[in-house]
Structure 1
Amino acid sequence: MKNSVFSQKIYSFLLAAYRWYLQTPERSLHEAYDAALKIKEIEDKHFSGNKIDIDSATYSNSVMDYFESDLNKLLKIAKMRLTEFRASRWFLNEENQKAAQKAGIEHPSPSLVLEKLNFIDQVISKYTISSDQITSNALAVKPPNLPINSAISDDKFLLVNTPTLPPKIPTQDSEKKSKPKGKVDTTGVLPRSILSTITRLQVELDPNSEKEVIQNFRQTQRRTIISIRFILLLIIIPLLTHQIAKAFVVGPSVEHFRSSDQMQIFINSEMEEEALEELERFEEKLKFENLIINAPPLSPEQMEAKMTDKAVELAKEFRQESSNAIKNVFADMFSVGAFIWLLLVSKSSIAVVKDFFDNIVYGLSDSAKAFIIILFTDIFVGFHSPHGWEVLLEGVSRHWGLPANRDFIFLFIATFPVILDTIFKYWIFRYLNRISPSAVATYRNMNE
């Protein structure tokens, strides 16, 4: 009995494997076609139907690196699946096709296969180097200082730089030629300032310079619009999510569970102390007003009635505040989720924003950089910053209905600004001192 069950399992496993083998051509063709569709989608959406190329785009280098990495991955998938399709078609004969028909596996019609193959070839042919280009590029010498963000992909770069000839034995003449030139060796007949002025005049007199200026301006304008729009989305979407979730999702649920009058009015001791102080202040106010207008003193019954009305009003107010604090906790979770979702689906926009801020920061003068650094350090880690942190932490605690723990606040103020100050000084020492030493010198002079 056990042997029959075991043999039946083996038979079902072999049958499933055989069915998977018979479906290999259709599966590989579908995956290659899907990769080609994704490449075509990127071209239509971001490059107006043209080839994914840095010369025909208005995006920054970081965005183009993002698109080229996706392109290389999709091209690799399409080529591998086409190879798998050809190999599986070669191994499958008429007997296999008859067996597939008996097993209930339906193959696509030949016209549909040809249509998919034609579409895949049209997409891939834009990014395929011909044999003549490969031969000529392989014999060419690699140019010095190839830029990092070049439009050549990794596969093309490997093809171009594949050595075809054995390396030569270095000689004295080649060693002399390979020595780096110093400043004395590079000195020409004319001063460099005159040569740079001539070069600048040539650029200004070039008839195509106006087109380049217009293209650069449009690229900068597009980058600015994308950055400002994305920053506004980062602010508006979480706020709208918080208000909508609080009004239509979290609010009704909290009100349903806290609708009874027997529910707890105060969710922390600070609210209770605040309500008691408000009630005592109201009682003193009644006595003071009674003394001012020279009216007869209120009877205990009248005083108790007014105090009861005020207590009921305070209870209603603080019950609403407690419910609002609970709503804020869950609504903030929705806001954080919306913020993270926006970051995950906007990787290209994040790269554009990063490039936008880099241009703004590096375009500032040294005095402006030093002014911004001193402003931020004095606000967050300066002498008066503990008061701001205290107000901020108390506001967050009240927003979430938590008691403001003074010990935690003082401990936070004693450690977190110090950590921020250390990180900021390390950033100035490690990065800003290397990028803009004059800004660091201006910062130190202004700080003194």
Structure 2
Amino acid sequence: MVTSNSNLFKQLFGNANQWFRDTPTRVLDQAYDAAFKIRSLENEHFHGDRIPSESHAEYSDRALAYFHAELKKNLKIIETRLMVFNTSRSVLGFSEQIYPPSMLKDEIAHKIEKNGSSPHHQPIMLICEKLDYIDSVISRYQPTPPPQISVELITSPPEQSLSLKETILNPDLSIMNARGKNKSSMAANPSSGKTMKEDLTAKSSTSVLPRSLLRTLNRIQQELRPESELEIIENYRKSKIKTLISIRFVLLLILIPLLTQQISKNFVVGPLVDRIFTHPEERPIFLNVNMEEEALIELQHYEERLKFQMLIGQAPSLTPEEVDEKLQEKAKELAEEYKAEGSNAIKNVFADIIAVFMFCFVMVYNRKEVDILKSFMGDLIYGLSDSAKAFIIILSTDMFVGFHSPHGWEVILENTARHFGLPENRDFNFLFIATFPVILDAVFKYWIFRYLNRSSPSAVSTYKTMNE
């Protein structure tokens, strides 16, 4: 009885040991069969091409959804089986014979007859051929692996910099990795009608564990994946390139309009305006009434200052004729000064119009850089701490729509009118100050309610607390 039990135990242990040793063979064959099914779908229905992720001319959306489901299932099988294959192969050791003699006899005999290889090395060749076949199938449905990061990124030639720029600007390799992954998963399984919001709601309503714990576990799972290191390097690389592109584009947006305004004013618009008003007497002395009033007030102050200096003895006594001569010289000086100021205002109008056109041209011509700048600014703003967000919001609102903001708007409007040679209209200034800050205040409040309240409720709470 004891002998029979011992034999049964040895038989069970031997079967389990044999099953464990056959694991690499079994899982590799399963991965190979899954890859063969994918290749069969490609050859039979898509003329050897990869299964498309978008609509296809020959098949309806439902048929394409079926192919996507089959593709996703087989890719999952390949991924899990290859993981088991690598684990079991590392446990068994590289020195052992992975394929037992009882399996793949026909394939081994065929390879021996064809290549004349020895039976000892033949299973390794079969393993390599199966793995090559699997890689050739799954490589068509995987993103391009990131290039090696080295010091050459800093001192790369213009062609390499351009390729890095195209990498980050490519929609297939966009900066928003999460959004791209969600789109690809929805394309692979379009039959699922749940949105991300519904999934989150379902998880929050049915999950037993806290969501913070689930997020922590999910983060640990993501970090333990084999490709997590490459993803971290790729994300850092994209973030670095995005920062460099954003800073360079901001400098271009500032420098190009300013240089265009100065160059066009001094070398294009200025000579044209001077050519139109060839004779000095053709130029208008004053462009508006405000300039004339300023000139008269300045001339009056000069006359009063001259008389005051004569009365206190700081200037020699002058006859009325000499006083008139000095006033005449001062009037001519003021006329030339205001003529130059008026001419400069006319030049500013046309030069600023050219600068605005250049700014719009840069914005339209570099739309991809604009998207990158928007993404960079969003990451920069939403990446701040709650107290920093609240501080920036309070500073901006108090500066532009606060109690002391009307004085700043008056200075801006007066300098703008003087820059373009326009008369100062106090009614327009008061109307602008009474309406525009109110609109800005409404925009700030809407942004806080619509976007910031969703992305960072704690920042809104901190803002309310600091504002009170």
**TM-score normalised by length of structure 2:** 0.57
Native 8 Å contact 1:61 1:149 kept in 2? no
- What are the residue-to-residue correspondences of 1:12-411 with 2, within 5 Å? 63-65=169-171, 148-150=179-181, 157=187, 186-187=207-208, 209-263=228-282, 264-293=284-313, 296-411=316-431
Distance in 2 (CA, whole Å) between partners of 1:433 and 1:270 is: 48
**Structure-1 residue corresponding to 2:435:** 415
In structure 2, the CA distance between the partners of 1:395 and 1:262, relative to structure 1 (3 Å rule), is same
What letter corresponds to residue 231 of structure 1 in structure 2?
Answer: V
Q: CA deviation at 1:302?
A: 1.4
Distance in 2 (CA, whole Å) between partners of 1:249 and 1:313 is: 27
**SS of corresponding position for 2:274:** helix
What letter corresponds to residue 267 of structure 1 in structure 2?
Answer: L
Q: CA deviation at 1:58?
A: 6.2
**Structure-2 residue corresponding to 1:106:** none
User: Matched residues, percent identical?
Assistant: 53
What letter corresponds to residue 275 of structure 2 in structure 1?
Answer: H
Native 8 Å contact 2:401 2:437 kept in 1? yes
Native 8 Å contact 1:266 1:322 kept in 2? yes
Q: CA deviation at 1:148?
A: 4.2
Native 8 Å contact 2:299 2:330 kept in 1? yes
1:213-262 deviation digits (Å, cap 9, x = unpaired): 33322211111000000001001000011001101111011111223232
Native 8 Å contact 1:381 1:420 kept in 2? yes
Give the paired residue count: 301
What letter corresponds to residue 233 of structure 1 in structure 2?
Answer: L
Native 8 Å contact 2:204 2:211 kept in 1? no
Larger Cα-atom Rg: 2
1:52-110 deviation digits (Å, cap 9, x = unpaired): 96765867999433999xxxxxxxxxxxxxxxxxxxxxxxxxxxxxxxxxxxxxxxxxx
Q: CA deviation at 1:422?
A: 1.5
Q: Over aligned residues, Cα RMSD in angstroms?
A: 3.6
**SS of corresponding position for 1:262:** helix
**SS of corresponding position for 2:285:** coil
1:31-69 deviation digits (Å, cap 9, x = unpaired): xxxxxxxxxxxxxxxxxxxx996765867999433999x
1:366-406 deviation digits (Å, cap 9, x = unpaired): 11111111111111111111111111011110000000100
In structure 2, the CA distance between the partners of 1:320 and 1:287, relative to structure 1 (3 Å rule), is same
Native 8 Å contact 2:168 2:242 kept in 1? no
Distance in 2 (CA, whole Å) between partners of 1:385 and 1:310 is: 39
In structure 2, the CA distance between the partners of 1:218 and 1:255, relative to structure 1 (3 Å rule), is same
**SS of corresponding position for 1:298:** coil
Distance in 2 (CA, whole Å) between partners of 1:65 and 1:363 is: 23
**SS of corresponding position for 2:424:** coil
| Worse overlay, 433-442 or 335-344 | 433-442
**Structure-1 residue corresponding to 2:32:** none
In structure 2, the CA distance between the partners of 1:62 and 1:149, relative to structure 1 (3 Å rule), is farther
Native 8 Å contact 2:299 2:327 kept in 1? yes
Q: CA deviation at 1:427?
A: 1.9
What letter corresponds to residue 250 of structure 2 in structure 1?
Answer: I
**TM-score normalised by length of structure 1:** 0.60
Higher relative contact order (CA 8 A, sep 6+): 1
Distance in 1 (CA, whole Å) between partners of 2:204 and 2:288 is: 74
What letter corresponds to residue 222 of structure 1 in structure 2?
Answer: I
In structure 2, the CA distance between the partners of 1:195 and 1:394, relative to structure 1 (3 Å rule), is closer
Distance in 2 (CA, whole Å) between partners of 1:364 and 1:346 is: 27
Native 8 Å contact 2:289 2:423 kept in 1? yes
**SS of corresponding position for 1:297:** coil
- What are the residue-to-residue correspondences of 1:416-431 with 2, within 5 Å? 416-431=436-451
| Worse overlay, 378-387 or 54-63 | 54-63
Distance in 2 (CA, whole Å) between partners of 1:206 and 1:62 is: 24
